[in-house]
Amino acid sequence: MNHLIDIRDGVTELSLDTPEFTEEVQAQVDALEQKIMDMPPADCPVVHRFTPGLYIREILMPKGTLITSKIHLTEHPYVISKGVVCVFIEGVGWKKYAAPYTGITKPYTRRVLFIEEDTIWTTFHPTDETDLAKLEEQLILRRDDHLKNMATIECGGEA
């Protein structure tokens, strides 16, 4: 739980429906993501399911895990079917969610999650695509490899 308290320091809660996408907060999340990369990796198995016109992505996140999400391009529903999770979304602030919970992800959402109990989070995406690489292109904002760039700067050499 100390990780969550440390992360909350300096976070200002706002009350907006759609997350803002600011360079300042994204840089802070990038820096946090870099620190997470220095920790032992968490085992977060993902299950991909497909039905006609629908891609379903389910992730199991273990208790005590700190996670940053990618930046979502689409509005889509999600379900927390198990667990308790504290979530920071820019423009919204910190919120605690407990299963069962159903919500809507807005475009350009990027989350920081602290998993308080083993959590299953499932997203639903209307599409006929079944190729995972193509799905990522459709659903996730492409960015420069910010982690590689940060490592290059910190190490003073090429990564």
What dihedral do alpha carbons 112, 115, 116, 121 form, nearest 10°? 110
Instruction: State which residues form the domain around 90.
Output: 2-141
Q: Which residues pair with 35 in a beta bridge?
A: none
Residue 147 domain-assigned (yes or no): no
| CATH, residue 103 | 2.60.120.10
Q: Which residue has the higher pLDDT, 109 or 19?
A: 109
Residue 149 domain-assigned (yes or no): no
Residue 86 domain-assigned (yes or no): yes
Residue identified by tokens 């991909």 is 48
pLDDT in tens, 122-154: 999 999 999 999 999 999 887 655 444 333 222
pLDDT in tens, 74-117: 999 999 999 999 998 777 788 999 999 999 999 888 888 999 99
Residue 7 domain-assigned (yes or no): yes
Query: Of 122, 19, 113, 115, nearest to 78 (Cα)?
Result: 122
Q: How many domains does the chain have?
A: 1
Share of the chain above pLDDT 70, in %: 76
Residues 6+ apart with CB under 8 A from 136: none
Which ranges in the chain belong to alpha helices (H)? 2-8, 23-37, 132-139, 146-155
pLDDT of residue 142: 78
| Residue 56 · residue 79 · CB < 8 Å | no
Nearest 5°: CA angle at 125, between 123 and 126?
155
Query: Of 139, 30, 26, 24, nearest to 78 (Cα)?
Result: 139
Q: At what angle do helices 23-37 and 146-155 cross, to 10 degrees?
A: 70
Residue 80 domain-assigned (yes or no): yes
Residue 151 domain-assigned (yes or no): no
Residue 155 domain-assigned (yes or no): no
Residue 87 domain-assigned (yes or no): yes
pLDDT of residue 11: 32
By the 10 Å C-beta count (0-12 exposed, 13-18 middle, 19+ buried), 93 is classed as middle
Lowest mean pLDDT segment, chosen from 1-10, 20-29, 64-73? 1-10
